[in-house]
Amino acid sequence: MKTFTIAVIAGDGVGTEVIPEAKRVLEAAVKKHGVALVFEDFDWGSDHFFRWGRMMPAGAIDLLQQCDAILLGAVGHPDVPDHTTLNGLLLPIRRAFDQYANIRPAYLYPGVQSPLAKAKGGEIDFVVIRENTEGEYAQVGGFVYHLQPEEVAIQTSVFTRRGVERIVRFAFELAVKRDKKKRVTSITKSNAQGYSMVLWDRAFKEVAATFPGIETESLLVDAAAMNFIRRPESFDVVVGSNLFCDILSDISAAVVGSMGLAASANLDPLRRYPSMFEPVHGSAPDIAGKGIVNPLAMILSAAMMLEHLQISAAARDIEAAVAAVLAEGKVRTPDIGGHSHTSAVTDAILEKLG
Ligand code: GGG
C-alpha cells in the first residue's frame, strides 16, 4: 500500500477545529483507493509562541521537508501582532519550499447563495493564481528613528523577472489544462507602480505570445476588484502579485458564497519540496471555540492536496461529496445560511463518501 506522510499544523483559533474534520475526511477518502496517510502533528502557532517565544522551532523547516505535503489550519491570535504570526510561520514555509504558486479557486456551488442577485450555481468558475514568494511580501525594508516621533518606515516590493515569468507561465498552463474559457487575466497597477508592475506587464505579454490559443486580458487591480463583482462569470484564470491576489481572493470568496468555502494550495510546481494546503480564511477568533466554523474550505484544501499527490480519484470523491452536501442544503454552517455544527457537516460528507 502506498503511504504518504502529511505534516499537520493546526495552528490557531478555528484552525484547531477544521484540521480534525479534514483528517476524518481524508482517511475515509483514501481508504477506498489503496493509499494510506500518516499524519505528523506539529503543535506550532501562537501557543508555541507564548511558551517559547517563536511560532515554530528552529529546526521546523527540516522536519517539514521530510513529509510529502503539509496541511495548515490557520495562524493568528488577538494577543500577538499579525506580522509576528505570519512572519514566524506561514511565510517562511512558503519561501523555504519555493511554493511560488498560490492557487485559490472560486466556484459557486449549486445550492449556495451568492450575495450577487443574478449569480447562479456553476456560473462563476475561476481560479486566482497568486504569486506567493516575492512582490509586496518580500519583507525588505526597515525603520529609521524607530518608535520616535519622526519615525520613518520603508517597505520595498521585490519583483524578479524569473519570479514573474514563472507564475505567469503557470497561469497559462493552468488555463490550457482547465480547458474552459481559455482566458488569462493579468492584474497590475502599472500606472502607479511604474517599475515593478511595468516589468510584470512586459513579462506577461512575452509569456502570452507563447500561448496563442489563450485569450488575454490586463486589468488594473481596482478595475479587477470592480469586475469580480460586476462580471465574475467572465473570468477563467486570474494571475497577479502576492498582495493584490490575496485581496482579490477575499472578494472572489465572498462572491461564491463564503470565506468558509475558499480552499487554497501553496504549490512548488516543480515538486522539489512539500507543498502546503490551507483554507484561505484565518484563525477567526470571533467564532473560534463555538463549533460553528465551516470545515469545507479545509476539506476542499485537503482534496487539492490529494490531487497534488496524484491520488486524484480520492480528490474527486471528496469534491463530489462536498458538491452533493451543498446542493442538498440540509446540513450547513451559519456562514452559508444554516444552523449546523462543524462536525455535522463532516458527518454529511462522510455519509456521501460511503
Ligand atoms: N489559513 C492560514 C491563515 O491563517 N491565513 C490567514 C492569513 O492571514 N494569511 C496571510 C496570507 O495568506 O497572506
DSSP string for 189-235: -TTTSTTHHHHHHHHHHHHHTT-TTSEEEEEEHHHHHHHHHH-GGG-
Rounded to whole angstroms, the Cα distance separating 103 from 56 reads 25
CB of residue 279 inside a 6 A radius of ligand 1: yes
Residues 4 and 39: beta-carbon distance below 8 Å: no
Say whether 246 is catalytic. Answer: yes
CB of residue 241 inside a 6 A radius of ligand 1: no
Rounded to whole angstroms, the Cα distance separating 190 from 172 reads 21
Rounded to whole angstroms, the Cα distance separating 208 from 212 reads 7
Which whole-number Å values give the CA distances from 53 to 12, 39, 44, 212, in the listed order? 15, 26, 11, 52
Which whole-number Å values give the CA distances from 299 to 45, 161, 304, 332, in the listed order? 20, 35, 9, 14
The pLDDT, as a whole number, for residue 30 is 97
CB of residue 86 inside a 6 A radius of ligand 1: yes
The pLDDT, as a whole number, for residue 167 is 98
Nearest residue (CA) to ligand 1, atom 11:
246
Residues 112 and 79: beta-carbon distance below 8 Å: no
Residues 6+ apart with CB under 8 A from 307: 315
The pLDDT, as a whole number, for residue 242 is 98
Residues 338 and 331: beta-carbon distance below 8 Å: yes
The Cα angle at residue 269 between residues 265 and 273, in degrees rounded to 5 = 85
Between the CA of 75 and the centroid of ligand 1 the distance, in Å, is: 7
Q: How many CB atoms lie within 10 A of CB 26?
A: 24
Helix residue ranges per DSSP H, 256-311: 296-308
The low-confidence residues of the chain, meaning pLDDT below 50, are none
The pLDDT, as a whole number, for residue 52 is 97
Amino acid at 301: S
User: Hey, which of 86, 131, 299, 301 would you mutate to test ligand 1's pocket, going by the most ligand atoms within 8 Å of its Cβ?
Assistant: 86
* pTM for the model: 0.97
Closest CA to 3 of 62, 71, 68, 61: 68
Query: What whole-number percentage of the chain has pLDDT above 70?
Result: 100
Amino acid at 90: L
Nearest residue (CA) to ligand 1, atom 8:
282
CB of residue 74 inside a 6 A radius of ligand 1: yes
Ligand 1 atom with least separation from CA of 74: 4
Say whether 250 is catalytic. Answer: yes
Say whether 120 is catalytic. Answer: no
**Phi, psi angles (nearest 5°) of residue 61:** -65, -40
Residues 284 and 260: beta-carbon distance below 8 Å: no
Written as nine digits, the cell of 270 is 516543480
